[in-house]
Amino acid sequence: MDEVTIKVQGMTCGGCVRSVTGVLKGLTGVEDAQVSLEAAEARVRFDPGKVTVDSMRAAVEGAGFDAPA
């Protein structure tokens, strides 16, 4: 299992945090996601054989937030 921290910009309340958490945890291969509003980032534990960091960023962006590299 790998771990990565990705930037997540545009979250403004706890609902946003729940949305981003759900989107990340909904990806096959994502084991856990801890999203911080204050830090504007998500720490994700994942199986690199099943999911890529790029696909995590794409999923976050698809939910309406920014996930810069």
The residues that touch ligand 9UX, with contacts defined as CB under 6 A, are 12-13, 15-16, 19
Alpha-carbon distance of 26 to 56, in angstroms, equals 10
- Which CB sits closer to ligand 9UX, 3 or 58? 58
Nearest to 35 by CA among 53, 50, 16, 54: 16
Nearest to 4 by CA among 59, 50, 41: 41
Q: How far is the CB of 64 from ligand 9UX (least distance, A)?
A: 7
- Which CB sits closer to ligand 9UX, 15 or 68? 15
- Which CB sits closer to ligand 9UX, 29 or 36? 36
